[in-house]
Amino acid sequence: MKLSKLIENLEITECAADPELEIRQLVSDSRRVAPGDAFIAVRGFEQDGHRFIPAALKAGAAVIIAEEPVEGAPYVRVANSRHAMAVAAGNFYGNPARSLHMIGVTGTNGKTTVTNLIKELLERAAGAKVGLIGTNRNMIGPDEYPTERTTPDCLELQALLRRMADEGCQYAVMEVSSHALCLERVAGIRFDQGIFTNLTEDHLDFHKTMEAYAQAKARLFAMCDTAILNIDDPWYGAMRQSCTGRVFTYSARSDEADLTARTVRLHPDRVEFCALMTGKLERLKLGIPGMFSVYNALAAVSAALTAGVPMEKIRAALAQCGGVKGRAEVVPTGRPYTVLIDYAHTPDALENILDTVRESARGRVIVLFGCGGDRDPLKRPIMGAIAVDKADYVLVTSDNPRTERPEAIIRDIVRGIEEADTDTPFEVIADRRAAIARALKIAGPGDTVVLAGKGHETYQEIDHVKRPFDERQVVAEALSETQE
């Protein structure tokens, strides 16, 4: 690619390089520079890329893109290297987002579930091929790829979007984190739809204040043609102020929204509600429990509707959606009780899933959990106290002990249980497999068993070894043994 094409639409303050220069690759890590590359120097929180310009030149960089002039070498000076890198990355990969219907989802909670629901709805109801970029995984159609962060850096992101476009995707659905927006990872991308789920306290080590956190999230809605907003969230107004295009709202409380959930029914293994839009009612069902699932469903349905998918097709598709592995995941058992697998491994997450289950529980709430080894020991007694406060029966077991002894971790948890002002019964069974079998044995009709902590993980880490442990299989084996 010629340099002139690479730097198109950048905020250039000075160009001391031949625009006809042929560029092999755009690189921001001096250790990966090869002859013919353009090295872009970005100021980070720990390192300033400008310090590594000599190393990049020594490795054969053909041109430097930086915020400072470079002596003795071709360079392009820009106002903001981080922003320039995102735009240049788009140029290098042929701006693939322009050939995709881009859907971005932002908010504190629900992003992963909402993006996965949208992908399923578009595939089932519209027959589309959809790419997914998220916390747990990246996908191109049915194919799955590992991921390291919620929103990839701009070079990785543009390469992934290019691959999606080349492999025939019509849509790309992605989680857009506040960090990604602040750090310009999605700069230069115009979203067809942007979705706001909710805003609760998080990432204040980075943003410092809730106002700054909200402003970061709101950036997405200045970058999209249609904003889909949760009108029930207290930060809705902050998002609305940034909108530059069409606004579509959803709610579980207000008829003023464009799409409203009415007659909500919460069940241990699903939610059901009537979706009200322009005077029409459609009964919807989603096989994920909890009131939060109503909001996630509304967000996903709103995205499909504003993308032109008929409600009748959305209704049929939503009923088949299963949500995200390990997030309030319903495990089929064929028994008169419900088994959920959830990744809850922090005090807040454990409290939230138990509160969610309590909303619809018809019988007892039985929770099984442990705490990870070589991690924050202070949370262990806190989680023990939360478990006996929120559940009717507690089984304390092992999680990923890593290099710690499971018994030592369990002692920390039990200390919190014993200090709690409650008479909730509990058992200690260090072997997680045996603990799961015990939970299923004591579960009765209408009870809900929550297996907390492992979620999507299919292993237990013990003494640096990851041993196979998929709770879905463990449940199936335990049930099979009781039938024999």
Residues 83-129: tens digit of each pLDDT = 999 999 999 999 999 999 999 999 988 899 999 999 999 999 999 99
pLDDT band per the 50, 70, 90 thresholds, residue 403: very high
- Cα–Cα distances in Å, from 144 out to 139, 170, 323, 326, 459? 4, 17, 16, 16, 19
Mean pLDDT over the full length of the chain: 95
pLDDT at 484 over 60: no
pLDDT band per the 50, 70, 90 thresholds, residue 146: confident
- The encoded tokens of residue 190 equal 């115009």
Could you give all domains of the chain from N- to C-terminal order, each with its CATH number? Answer: 3-81 (3.40.1390.10), 96-318 (3.40.1190.10), 329-483 (3.90.190.20)
> Given this model, what pLDDT does residue 203 score?
62
- Residues 53-84: pLDDT tens digits? 999 999 999 999 999 999 999 999 999 999 99
Looking at residue 97, the DSSP 8-state letter turns out to be G
Q: DSSP alpha helices (H): ranges in 101-144?
A: 111-126
Looking at residue 136, the DSSP 8-state letter turns out to be S
Encode burial over 22-53: b for 16+ CB neighbours within 10 A, e otherwise.
ebeebbbebeebeeebbbbbbeeeeeebbebb
pLDDT at 480 over 70: yes
- Residues 279-303: pLDDT tens digits? 799 999 999 999 999 999 999 999 9
Q: What is the pTM of this model?
A: 0.88
- Residues 452-476: pLDDT tens digits? 999 999 999 999 999 999 999 999 9
pLDDT at 186 over 60: yes
> Given this model, what pLDDT does residue 46 score?
80
Q: What average pLDDT does the segment 16-26 reach?
A: 97
Looking at residue 197, the DSSP 8-state letter turns out to be -
Q: How far apart are CA 447 and CA 433, in angstroms?
A: 20
Q: What average pLDDT does the segment 181-192 reach?
A: 95
> Given this model, what pLDDT does residue 169 score?
98
pLDDT band per the 50, 70, 90 thresholds, residue 149: low
Give the percent of the chain with pLDDT over 90: 89
- Residues 323-371: pLDDT tens digits? 889 999 999 999 999 999 999 998 989 999 999 999 999 999 999 999 9
